[in-house]
Structure 1
Amino acid sequence: MSKLAEAAGLPLASCYKRLERLQAQGVIKGSRAAINWAALGYAVEVSLRVTLDKTDPRAFDEFLAAARKVPEVIAIQTFLGVVDVRLYVIARSMPHYQEIYRSRILTLPHIADIEALMQVATIKEAQSLPL
């Protein structure tokens, strides 16, 4: 907190009060830890673009409910367009990823098409808004 107050040019008490006010207004929804997955042994990161079979009106709900249960799926995003859902998957190794893909991802309901994008490097990852 003291580093934030110093960076903002505010006394510590004023900085604390301002943060409380921003939280009360819903501007700041919470704080989080940025996890270094590689440091925890997860060396493989894959983004899966999934197109669902939308002939069943329950396709989205059933797919999302099942995808939430896969522990290695650390992010789920939905889209408008050809791609319906993006799953962000982590694994310890390529054999581990293949096991996750075959036993947990491909068994998810209502998949019409799936495309895997293997992450090679993170070039930029913004953790804050430049104010």
Structure 2
Amino acid sequence: MLKLDRFDIAILKALVRDGRMTKSRLAAEINLSISPAWERVRRLEAAGVIRGYNASVNWSRVVQAARIIVEITLSRHTAADMQRFEDRVRRSPEVTQCDATGEGLDYVMHVVCRDINHYQRFMDCLLAEGLAIERYFTYVVTKVVKEGVDVVPAWVDPA
């Protein structure tokens, strides 16, 4: 794990809030001059701490879509079966996030489809592909309470 100091943490917090801020504004915000601040940003990028800079798009203002959370349990837990499932999920544009979990549940997927029919066709394809899916549970999202954006965990202290 990369050792970060208070300036690095301050940079990350500032860029999470506004990834488009200028070099001079970032430097002023973290109380460093421009060159050292920007060198730190480049180091954080090179180390893979900063993965990229994105636009946060409110897609619900553009298209109507169904958001679904799916719990998946596989029937077989060989490395090959899990890898085949994970590779398929990575290639699926419908899947916006997928986490491997423990305690009897193998994966939790976040899926976005045009509608419920699109979602069911997607799941039917996964089932037909022999991915060792034993069972899945579908939860339709009725309201987004907090969007999954990059946030600085509250316990990260720039000490």
What's the TM-score once normalised by structure 1's chain length? 0.76
Aligned match of 2:53: 32
Q: Superposition RMSD on alpha carbons, in Å?
A: 2.6
Instruction: Give the deviation of 1:42 after TM superposition.
Output: 5.0
Is 2:109 aligned against 1:87?
Answer: yes
Instruction: Give the deviation of 1:96 after TM superposition.
Output: 2.5
Instruction: Give the deviation of 1:5 after TM superposition.
Output: 3.1
Q: Percent identity?
A: 22
Aligned match of 1:105: 126
Aligned partner of 1:128: which letter? V
71, 82, 98: which one aligns with 2:93: 71
Residues 64 and 42 (structure 1), Cα distance of their counterparts in 2 relative to 1, 3 Å cut: farther
Distance 1:9 1:56 in 2: 51
Residues 23 and 66 (structure 1), Cα distance of their counterparts in 2 relative to 1, 3 Å cut: closer
SS in structure 2 of the partner of residue 54 of structure 1: coil
Equivalenced residue count is: 129
What's the TM-score once normalised by structure 2's chain length? 0.65
Residues 117 and 7 (structure 1), Cα distance of their counterparts in 2 relative to 1, 3 Å cut: farther
Instruction: Give the deviation of 1:10 after TM superposition.
Output: 3.4
Structure 2: unaligned runs, 5 residues or longer: 1-20
Instruction: Give the deviation of 1:35 after TM superposition.
Output: 4.1
SS in structure 2 of the partner of residue 81 of structure 1: coil
Distance 1:116 1:67 in 2: 16
Instruction: Give the deviation of 1:50 after TM superposition.
Output: 0.3
Residues 55 and 99 (structure 1), Cα distance of their counterparts in 2 relative to 1, 3 Å cut: closer
131, 138, 143: which one aligns with 1:116: 138
Structure 1: unaligned runs, 5 residues or longer: none
